[in-house]
Each structure stands twice: as structure tokens, then as C-alpha cells.
Amino acid sequence: MISSLITSFVVGGLICVVGQILMDVFKLTPAHTLSTLVVSGSILDGFGLYEPLIDFAGAGATIPITSFGNSLTHGALAEAEKHGLIGVLTGMFEVTSSGISAAIIFGVIGAFIFQNSKTTY
Amino acid sequence: MKNAIYILLLCFLTACSNEVNEAIYPENDSSEIKQVLNNYDSVKGYSSVTDKNDVLVAIDIRRMSRFNKEKIEKKISKKLEEKFPDKEVLVTSDLKIRWEVEKIIEQSMQEDEMTKSIKKIKSLSKEET
Amino acid sequence: MEQKQFDKIVDQQTPKTPLFVNMLKAFLVGGIICTIGQLITFFYIRFFPFTERTAANPTVATMVFIAMILTGTGLYKKISQIGGAGSAVPVTGFGNAVISASIEHKPEGYVLGIGGNMFKLAGSVIVFGVVSAFFVALIKTILVKLGVVSW
Amino acid sequence: MVNTYGTIQFMAKPSIASTGVVVGPVEKESSFAEEFDEILPLENEKDETFERANTRFIEKACEVTIRKAHEQMENIDVFIGGDLINQLSPTNFAARQLSIPFLGVFSACASSMESVILGSLLLESGNARSVIAGASSHHPAVERQFRYPLEYGSQKPGTAQWTVTAAGYALLQKQAKNAPIITHATIGRVVDGGQTDPLHMGAAMAPAARDTIERHLTNTNSRMADYDVIMTGDLGKIGLSILKEMFQDEDSGVILQDAGAQFYGEKSFYNAGASGAGCSAAVFFSYVYNQLKNGVFNRVLLVATGALLSPLTFQQGETIPCIAHAIECRMEKRG
């Protein structure tokens, strides 16, 4: 268990370091950085490399935004395997909805609960 | 300072994988499973339960071999299927399933109860992400 | 004054980004967030009927929930100032982008404000995730049909 | 009124009769905090939008200004002001409340000096007797328009500046008693230094500041050493050092100062310092004005700098054009 925690720390941290390099060296905005990482996650899954990384690092690979691209691709590929080309379109959100739906729901709840009026910085 | 952190991390990574845990239940037909599993260096521990229809093996794969987790699972399950042609074999390294299997062993369940648990475990493992 | 000369002055006077320090901070903050995620995964595996694979979903949802609390209380932007990409890259950063935008646009009403602006920062992530997933999956499917690679 | 190559010389001695500076809660950390007329405890009141709060700051600053001069709102002929929000809505809305004939101006953070120049011209031409002029900015309102949502975590680089919450207004009257007079003004040209980073405004604005200062010095036939201080608006710490480097003048080291660089002192939280239309207005109309009145300064050049970008233009990859307006103030020796 402890080794799982350490690998997720190291792998998750390293993915974030890649993001920091994109931001600092290539001068990308946060939105550009995240989009780049999502695209690379989906490409890695195309080569079948991201799932082994999840097996290895657990949350270290599922928590960074790269896993979002991975699971979109994974859903599309799983569906394509069953139903052919049309599955590429239909399977996309089969696996990943939890991140998006959680963000939408907690976004609305957060807007209800919290006020944007704090002055302590 | 920073190098020290890395060295510490590496130590942790390697040091934590020494305890070996082998448990087979019920013990009477253990030899064959043992034979198969002991051939794999990447498997550092396992617990297994068997009833009249199923063979359930939960393996603990070494950290660095986890990249090939799926391949290892498939290989072992193929080998075991050869040994138990009349039973359904499930080999997995999933933590949840290992915990469930260990629970069966700890409580030394009776045949009926065990069959029920095994059914539950199998349906768990079939769930897609 | 010539442009070149001016660019040189700007270059001289602008402090360099402390790349190594920033990378180390991103590593630590990102690593800690992922470790917390791993602990939550263990929690779901232990006490709920989730396997390692299926526990990822409730873990992500829980992380977004934590991001909501931190965003609403104003802590997330403080973490981000230290962590940089370390707090932006994990799914909590995605949550922070969505939740901060929706809190921000509450005065403009629930439909046009919250509904319309919620994804103004995070939308591009979804768009590019879906588009790239489509093309990757399309290419791979075609390659499989052609017999170049297998699933 | 004489205009030589863009520098206006005022003959009718327009003067700053009184000033009013109202700032937000964060600004009590400012090194000028004691000079401000009023520090409000909240950025916005409950259920009040930030834009509405910005309007309230402007109204309050105008009231303070007029009260300090013992004037009546009805006697003011023109209200000139600007801010950073789209369509100048906060200032427009404040004008609705004040019901004084109104001119809205925009040159980003240089709006404060632009409105003072226009006000002085109205006095000079005899078309007004009392003009209230100034500018304001409101941190949360500006931040959400130009950058990210307030609670969004984005790492700010060391070159970033903090938009202040402040409204600074001044009452301009001809030959007011014991008040600094505005002798010259230089209207800025839009200068583009080819900078594209919206989080490094100092570098973008420095060429505009240099252009205006240099033209002012040439046109008035003076040297830097003739001034007690030449204060720029909101170049920030890095922008100021770039400006000093551009001048290579032995006097520039001490005489060139920057309101934004000094606003929050050395606190690293604010990175390169303060910015925003309210920054130059607040410092010029409190600290500099008081120093003039007390006779510490006799001749100052105030240069407000503004970056004329919008969130769209920098996303479209345009460079950031900038402008700087300057006024020269003198305190006549009391006789």
C-alpha cells in the first residue's frame, strides 16, 4: 500500500512537472497546457501505453488531466471494437462522464453555496 | 537536499516489496496452483480460493512489473486453465479482490457461503471502468 | 531607440522564471494531490464494492468535491500560486476552473451566467479531449481494419 | 494656451483645489495608506456586484473631493472620468447618480491624467469654472474582465501586477488658493514596444512613458534635474527599472519614481507592484498632492501610463500598444 502511495506521488508529480515545463519554458497559458496534456493522454492511449501506467501508478495516473484524454479514447476504442467505425462516435463519453458530471454538479452547487465577495487575499 | 529526497524515494520504492504472502484455501488442492505461481518472479504473493466450479487467484505483482499486469494475469490464467480444464479460472491482481479473497480465507468459510462470495467477486471484476 | 536595443533591456531587467524551483514545487504539490487521490481510492476499495479500476470514478468525483470546497473558501488560488501546474494539471484544477467560473458569474443569472460561463476556461479541455480521442480512435480503428495493428 | 509639439502650456493657472481618494480593504497594506481619505472595509457589500461597487467607490471619491473644497455638487460644471470596465459602465453609472454634465474618457490606466488634461483645457478656455476629474479601478471587477475568475488558481509570474481597488478624483478650479497649479501637459502618443505578454505590462508601457517624458522635457526646455520628482503611473518595479535603463540619465536614478512600484512597498505577494487606473490616480491625488501642498515638492511631472489592450486583442496575438499622458504641477511660493 505504501508503495502505491509513493508511485502515485512520483508519477503524478512528474506529470505535473511536464505541465510546469509547458507553462514556463514554452510560455503556454494554463488552458493551452491542459489541452496539450489531454491530447497527449489520448494519443498515449492510442498506443496502448496509458492503461499500463494506470496499473503502475494508480491515482498518480488517473488524477492528472491526461487520464481524461485516455478515458475518452478508451471509451471510443472499446465501442469501436464492438460496433466498428460508428462506435468511435458513440463510445466517447461512456467511460469518462464522472469528471465532467462532477464538475458540472459541484460547479452549480458551489455557486449556490459560495459568494464571490471575500476580501481577504 | 533534493538528491537526498530522490534517494529516499528510491529506497522506499525498493524496500517495500519484501514481505511474501502465500495462502491457498482450501489447502487440499494447493500443490498445482503453487507450482504454477512459483514460476513467476514478478508475483510476490498470492491468495487463492477454490470451490467445485471456480478457481480464484488474487496475485500481488511486484511494483515494477505492474506495467505488464494484464499480460501476467493472462499468462497465469492460461497455465491454470490447462491444469483445471473443468473449472472457471479468474486470475487478477486487483486489490479489492485480493482483500475479498483474504476475507474468505480468514473466516474459513463453508462451501455454500464461499460459492456465494465467489459469485459476488466475479461480478465485481467483470464491471468495466 | 531601436527595437533590438529595447528588447535587450527588457530581457536584462526582467527576472528569469525560477524554472527548477517551479518544477520542484509543481512536483511536490501535484504529487501530494495524487497521493490524496490514491488514499481516497483505497478508501473506496476498502469500504465500497469498487475494484481498482472502478474506484477511479468516485475518486475523481470526490477530488472535484474537495476542489469545490477549496475554491469556495479561496484556498485553491493560494495553493496554485505555490504549485503552478502542480495544482492545475490534476483533475482538481479542472474542477477549480469550472467552479470558479460558475461562482464568478452568479450575478449574471443562473442560465446566462452560471450555465453560459461555467466552461469558459475548462471547455477547451473537453473539446480537445473529445476531438483528439475521435481522431486517435478513428486512426486506430482504420489501422486495425487494414490489419496493420491489432486491438 | 500655447501648444508646442504636443506640449500644452496653460496660461490661466488651472489648479487642483482639492482631491478625494477612496480605496478598498487590500489597499490598507499600501505604503501610502495614511494619505488616503477613506479606506472602505469591504470590496463590495453583500449582494452587490463588483461593477456596482466600483460605481459606489467613484461616487464616494467625488463626494469626498467636493466636501473637502467646501463646494456644492450643483456648482460643478463638468465631471470627467474613466475606468477599465467595458463601456465605462461604472463611471457612466456614477454620472447618473451625480447628475453633473459628464465626459467619459478611456486610455486604460492613463485615464486619470487624460481627464485632468481635458478638465484643465476646459478651464483654460473659460468654458467651465469647476471640473471634477479622475479615474478609478476595482480589482475584482477588472480581474474578471481581463484575466481569470477571481477564485481560479493561476500562477502569477514575478512580472505580474496587482490591479488596485481605488478611486481618485480632483477638483480643478482656476487659481484656487494655496493649491498646486497645472502649468503644462503633454498628450501622449500611442507607442508600441512590440510586447505581447499581458502579465508583463511594465515592459509594454515603458516605451510610451519614455516617449512622453522625453517630449515633455524637450518641449519645456528642461532637464530631469529640474524636477523634484518625475512620477510614472503604474510601470511596476520591473517596468521602472526598464525605464531607467532606457534613459541612461544620471539623474534618472532618484528622480524617476513609480507609483505602482511603491504602492505596496516590498511585499512579494503583489509581485511587481500595483497597477490599474486607480493606482496613479490614488497616489497622485493623495501623496504627491499633499507633498506639493506642504511644500516638500515644488515641481513635479506626473506621467500616467496605460496599456491599450483588450482580452480579445492579446488572444488574437496583437502586440500591446501603450499611451502615457503627463501633467506638470508646480506649487507657487507662498508670498
Domains of chain C, by residue range, sit at: 3-89, 123-151
Q: What is the pLDDT, as a whole number, of residue B1?
A: 54
Q: Is residue B2's pLDDT more than 60? A: no
Identify the band that residue B16 occupies on the pLDDT scale cut at 50, 70 and 90: very low
Would you list which residues of chain A are within 8 Å, Cβ to Cβ, of chain D?
Answer: 23, 27, 30, 115-117, 119, 121
Pairing of strands D166-174, D14-23: antiparallel
Q: What is the pLDDT, as a whole number, of residue A37?
A: 96
Q: Is residue A120's pLDDT more than 60? A: no
Compute the 3-state secondary structure of chain D and give helix, strand, coil in percent, each to the nearest 5.
Answer: 40, 25, 35
Cα-based distances in Å from D271 to A28, D158, D237, D241, D335? 20, 5, 9, 14, 45
CA A84 – CA A78 distance, rounded (Å): 10
Q: Is residue B27's pLDDT more than 80? A: no
Q: Is residue B8's pLDDT more than 60? A: no
CA B73 – CA C52 distance, rounded (Å): 15
Pick the range with the lowest mean pLDDT from A109-113, B63-67, C38-42, D93-97: B63-67
Of the candidates D277, D233, D274, D234, which has an alpha carbon nearest to the alpha carbon of residue D91? D277
Task: Specify whether the CB–CB gap between D154 and C81 falls below 8 A.
Answer: no
Task: Specify whether the CB–CB gap between B93 and B69 falls below 8 A.
Answer: yes
* Cross-chain Cβ contact A119/D150 below 8 Å: no
A121: nearest CB among D26, D42, D44? D26
Average pLDDT over residues A52-74: 92
D15: Cα separation from own chain's centroid: 17
Q: What is the pLDDT, as a whole number, of residue D334?
A: 59
Residues 56 through 115 of chain C touching chain A, CB cutoff 8 Å: 56-61, 63-65, 67-68, 71-74, 83-86, 88-95, 97-99, 101-106, 114
Query: B19-126 has which CATH code?
Result: 3.30.300
Question: Measured between beta carbons, which residues in chain C are less than 8 angstroms from residue A33?
Answer: 85, 88-89
- Chain segment C25-76, per-residue pLDDT in tens: 999 999 999 999 999 999 999 899 888 888 988 999 999 999 999 999 889 9
Mean pLDDT of chain D: 91
Q: What is the largest CA-CA distance in chain D?
A: 58
Question: Measured between beta carbons, which residues in chain A are less than 8 angstroms from residue D46?
Answer: 115, 117
Task: Specify whether the CB–CB gap between D83 and D53 falls below 8 A.
Answer: no
C51 touches chain B (CB under 8 A): yes
Instruction: Name every residue whose Cβ is closer than 8 Å to that of residue D217 and which is 6 or more positions away in sequence.
Output: D223, D224
Compute the 3-state secondary structure of chain B and give helix, strand, coil in percent, each to the nearest 5.
Answer: 55, 20, 20
Strand ranges in D5-99 using DSSP code E only, listed in sequence order: 7-9, 14-23, 38-39, 78-82
Question: Measured between beta carbons, which residues in chain A are less than 8 angstroms from residue B128?
Answer: 78, 95
- Chain segment D39-78, per-residue pLDDT in tens: 998 888 877 889 999 999 999 999 999 999 999 999 999 9
Average pLDDT over residues A33-58: 93
Q: Is residue D320's pLDDT more than 60? A: yes
* Cross-chain Cβ contact B129/C56 below 8 Å: yes
Average pLDDT over residues B59-79: 86
Q: What is the pLDDT, as a whole number, of residue A109?
A: 92
- Chain segment B48-58, per-residue pLDDT in tens: 888 878 888 88
Q: Is residue D24's pLDDT more than 90? A: yes
CA C72 – CA C66 distance, rounded (Å): 10
CA A52 – CA A63 distance, rounded (Å): 15
Identify the band that residue B83 occupies on the pLDDT scale cut at 50, 70 and 90: confident
First-to-last CA distance in chain C? 62
DSSP 3-state of D82:
strand
> Which residue type sits at B9?
L
Q: Fill in the DSSP letter of residue D70.
A: T
Q: Is residue A121's pLDDT more than 60? A: no
CA B51 – CA B88 distance, rounded (Å): 10
Pairing of strands D7-9, D2-4: antiparallel
Look at the alpha carbons of C87, C92, C97, C99 in this order and tell me if their dihedral is positive or negative. Answer: negative
Q: Is residue D316's pLDDT more than 70? A: yes
CA A72 – CA C126 distance, rounded (Å): 10
Angle of helix A2-24 relative to helix B2-15, nearest 10 degrees, comes to: 140
Verify D-B touch: 3 or more CB pairs within 8 A.
Answer: no
CA D200 – CA D165 distance, rounded (Å): 20
Min distance C130 CA to chain B CA atoms (Å): 18
Task: Specify whether the CB–CB gap between D185 and C130 falls below 8 A.
Answer: no
**Domains present along chain D, CATH in parentheses:** 2-174 (3.40.47.40), 181-330 (3.40.47.40)
Q: Is residue D94's pLDDT more than 90? A: yes
Q: What is the pLDDT, as a whole number, of residue A32?
A: 93
C17 touches chain D (CB under 8 A): yes
Identify the band that residue D304 occupies on the pLDDT scale cut at 50, 70 and 90: very high
Q: What is the pLDDT, as a whole number, of residue D1?
A: 60
Identify the band that residue A118 occupies on the pLDDT scale cut at 50, 70 and 90: low
CA B65 – CA D267 distance, rounded (Å): 50
Q: Is residue D222's pLDDT more than 60? A: yes
A95-107 burial code (b ≥16 CB/10 A, e <16):
bbebbbebbbebb
Task: Specify whether the CB–CB gap between B54 and B84 falls below 8 A.
Answer: no
Tally of CB atoms within 10 A around D97? 12
Min distance A87 CA to chain D CA atoms (Å): 36
Question: Measured between beta carbons, which residues in chain A are less than 8 angstroms from residue C54?
Answer: none
CA A16 – CA A69 distance, rounded (Å): 15
Instruction: Name every residue whose Cβ is closer than 8 Å to that of residue D102 and which is 6 or more positions away in sequence.
Output: D78, D79, D80, D81, D92, D95
What is the residue-wise DSSP string for D229-293? EEEESS-HHHHHHHHHHHH--TTHHHHEEEHHHHHTTT-GGGTT-EESHHHHHHHIIIIIHHHHH
More confident residue, D56 or B92: D56
Angle of helix B69-83 relative to helix A50-57, nearest 10 degrees, comes to: 80
Share of chain D above pLDDT 70, in %: 99
C45 touches chain D (CB under 8 A): no
Burial of D68 (0-12, 13-18, 19+ CB in 10 A): middle
Identify the band that residue B30 occupies on the pLDDT scale cut at 50, 70 and 90: low
* Cross-chain Cβ contact C38/A69 below 8 Å: no
Share of chain B above pLDDT 70, in %: 80
* Cross-chain Cβ contact B69/A95 below 8 Å: no
C54 touches chain A (CB under 8 A): no
Min distance B69 CA to chain A CA atoms (Å): 7
Average pLDDT over residues B11-19: 47
Chains with ≥3 Cβ pairs under 8 A against B? Answer: A, C
A119 touches chain C (CB under 8 A): no
3-state secondary structure C24-58: HHHHHHHHHHHHHHHHHHHHHHHHCCCCCCCCHHH
* Cross-chain Cβ contact A10/B9 below 8 Å: yes
Identify the band that residue B39 occupies on the pLDDT scale cut at 50, 70 and 90: confident
* Cross-chain Cβ contact C53/B95 below 8 Å: no
Q: Is residue D166's pLDDT more than 50? A: yes
Q: Is residue D161's pLDDT more than 80? A: yes
Q: Fill in the DSSP letter of residue A100.
A: H
Would you list which residues of chain D are within 8 Å, Cβ to Cβ, of chain C?
Answer: 49, 144, 148-159, 193-195, 200, 203, 206-207, 210, 238, 241-242, 245-246
Q: What is the pLDDT, as a whole number, of residue B17?
A: 42
Q: Is residue D210's pLDDT more than 90? A: yes
Task: Specify whether the CB–CB gap between C138 and A91 falls below 8 A.
Answer: no
Q: What is the pLDDT, as a whole number, of residue A83?
A: 85
CA D260 – CA D304 distance, rounded (Å): 10
* Cross-chain Cβ contact D46/A117 below 8 Å: yes
Identify the band that residue D109 occupies on the pLDDT scale cut at 50, 70 and 90: very high
A78 touches chain C (CB under 8 A): no
Task: Specify whether the CB–CB gap between D182 and D122 falls below 8 A.
Answer: no
Q: Which residue of C5, C11, C14, C117 is the best one to mutate when testing the D interface, meaning the one whose CB has the most D CBs within 10 A? A: C14
Q: Is residue D124's pLDDT more than 70? A: yes
* Cross-chain Cβ contact C51/B94 below 8 Å: yes
* Cross-chain Cβ contact B63/A7 below 8 Å: yes
Average pLDDT over residues D170-181: 92
Pick the range with the lowest mean pLDDT from B70-74, C127-131, D92-96: B70-74
**Residue ranges per structural domain of chain A:** 2-113
* Cross-chain Cβ contact B9/A6 below 8 Å: yes
Q: Is residue B128's pLDDT more than 70? A: no
Min distance A6 CA to chain C CA atoms (Å): 7
* Cross-chain Cβ contact B13/A7 below 8 Å: yes
Q: Is residue B29's pLDDT more than 70? A: no
A71 touches chain B (CB under 8 A): yes
Average pLDDT over residues D94-111: 93
> Which residue type sits at A16?
C
Min distance C13 CA to chain A CA atoms (Å): 18
CA D332 – CA D328 distance, rounded (Å): 13
CA B86 – CA C72 distance, rounded (Å): 58
Q: Is residue C1's pLDDT more than 70? A: no
C137: nearest CB among A11, A30, A73? A73
Chains with ≥3 Cβ pairs under 8 A against C? Answer: A, B, D
Q: What is the pLDDT, as a whole number, of residue D292?
A: 94
D133: Cα separation from own chain's centroid: 11
More confident residue, A100 or B18: A100
Burial of B26 (0-12, 13-18, 19+ CB in 10 A): middle
CA D168 – CA D282 distance, rounded (Å): 5
Residues 48 through 107 of chain B touching chain A, CB cutoff 8 Å: 63, 66-70
Q: What is the pLDDT, as a whole number, of residue B20?
A: 54
Instruction: Name every residue whose Cβ is closer than 8 Å to that of residue A19 and which is 6 or more positions away in sequence.
Output: A33, A34, A37, C26, C30, C84, C85, C86, C88, C89
State whether ipTM is beyond 0.90: no
Cα-based distances in Å from A77 to A73, B74, C136, D36? 6, 21, 9, 64
Q: What is the pLDDT, as a whole number, of residue D269?
A: 87
Q: Is residue A99's pLDDT more than 90? A: no
| Residue of chain D minimizing CA distance to C87 | D153
Give the count of Cβ contacts less than 8 A between chain C and D: 86
DSSP 3-state of D1:
coil
| Residue of chain B minimizing CA distance to A96 | B129
Cross-strand partners of B24: B48
Question: Measured between beta carbons, which residues in chain C are less than 8 angstroms from residue A108?
Answer: 102, 114, 118
Average pLDDT over residues C71-91: 92
Strand ranges in chain D using DSSP code E only, listed in sequence order: 2-4, 7-9, 14-23, 38-39, 78-82, 102-104, 130-137, 162-163, 166-174, 181-186, 191-192, 229-232, 256-258, 274-275, 299-307, 321-330
What radius of gyration do chain C's Cα atoms show? Answer: 21
C132: nearest CB among A43, A84, A88? A43
Structure-derived torsion over alpha carbons of residues D163, D165, D166, D167, reported in degrees to the nearest 10 = 100
Of the candidates D168, D165, D166, D157, which has an alpha carbon nearest to the alpha carbon of residue D270? D157
Q: What is the pLDDT, as a whole number, of residue B18?
A: 44
Q: What is the pLDDT, as a whole number, of residue D335?
A: 47
Q: What is the pLDDT, as a whole number, of residue B109?
A: 75
Q: What is the pLDDT, as a whole number, of residue B70?
A: 85
